C-alpha cells in the first residue's frame, strides 16, 4: 500500500478513535458524576471533567498504540472503503418504498385495531 493510500485510510481510523473518545468521555463524566454524587452531596464538576478527560486520553493513547486494536480498526476502514454505496436515485426509490410500506402497514394495523375493538365491545358490552 502506498503512503497516500495509508494516509487516506488513517482519516477514518482517527475519526473512529476521536468519536469513541468523545463518547467514552461523556459516559465517564456521567458515571463519575453519579458515583461521586452518591457519596458526596455536591460533586466537583471541574475534578470530574478533568479526571474523565485524562483517563480517556490515556486510554485512547494506549489503545492507539496497541497493534491489535489499531490493525483491527484499520482493516474495518479498508473493508468499508470497498463498499459500493447506492446512488441518489436508488436511495430515493428505497426511501419511497419504505414510506409506502409503512403507510400500508399502518392502515392494516389500524383496520385490525378497529375490528378488534368493535369485537371486544360487542362481546364485553
Q: Contact 54/28 with Cβ under 8 angstroms?
A: no
* Domain match, 40 and 22 both: yes
Q: For the chain, what is the domain count?
A: 2
**Is residue 120 located within the same domain as residue 100?**
yes
Residues 107 and 65 in one domain: no
Query: Containing domain of residue 98, as a range?
Result: 85-125
Residue 4 in this model has a pLDDT that exceeds 60: no
Do 73 and 97 have their domain in common? Answer: no
Same-domain status, 1 and 14? yes
Rounded to whole angstroms, the Cα distance separating 13 from 117 reads 54
In this model, does residue 1 exceed pLDDT 70?
no
Task: For 77-86, write each residue's pLDDT tens digit.
Answer: 888 888 888 9
Rounded distance between C-alpha atoms, residue 77 and residue 16, angstroms: 9
**CB neighbour list of residue 53: distance below 8 Å, 6 or more residues apart:** 25
φ and ψ at residue 99, rounded to 5 degrees = -65, -45
| Residue 4 sits in the same domain as residue 40 | yes
% of the chain surpassing 70 pLDDT:
93
- Whether 93 and 57 share a structural domain: no
Whole-Å CA distances, 22 to 26, 59, 60: 6, 12, 10
Q: Give residue-wise pLDDT tens across range 34-57.
A: 888 788 777 788 888 999 999 999
What is the spatial distance between Cα 71 and Cα 64, in angstroms, rounded to a whole number? Answer: 10
| Contacts of residue 60, Cβ cutoff 8 Å, sequence gap at least 6 | 17, 20, 21
Read off the pLDDT band of 103 (50, 70, 90): very high
Q: Examine the domain organization and report whether 28 and 44 are in the same domain.
A: yes
Residues 45 and 7 in one domain: yes
For 40, left (φ over 0), alpha (ψ -120 to 50), or beta? beta
Amino acid at each position: 500500500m502506498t503512503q497516500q493510500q495509508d494516509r487516506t485510510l488513517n482519516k477514518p481510523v482517527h475519526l473512529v478513535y476521536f468519536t469513541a473518545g468523545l463518547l467514552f468521555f461523556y459516559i465517564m463524566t456521567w458515571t463519575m458524576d453519579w458515583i461521586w454524587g452518591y457519596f458526596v452531596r455536591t460533586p466537583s464538576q471541574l475534578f470530574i471533567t478533568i479526571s474523565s478527560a485524562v483517563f480517556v486520553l490515556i486510554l485512547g493513547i494506549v489503545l492507539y498504540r496497541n497493534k491489535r486494536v489499531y490493525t483491527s480498526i484499520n482493516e474495518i476502514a479498508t473493508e468499508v472503503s470497498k463498499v459500493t454505496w447506492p446512488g441518489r436515485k436508488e436511495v430515493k426509490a428505497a426511501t419511497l418504498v419504505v414510506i409506502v410500506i409503512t403507510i400500508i402497514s399502518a392502515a392494516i394495523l389500524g383496520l385490525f385495531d378497529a375490528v378488534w375493538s368493535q369485537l371486544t365491545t360487542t362481546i364485553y358490552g
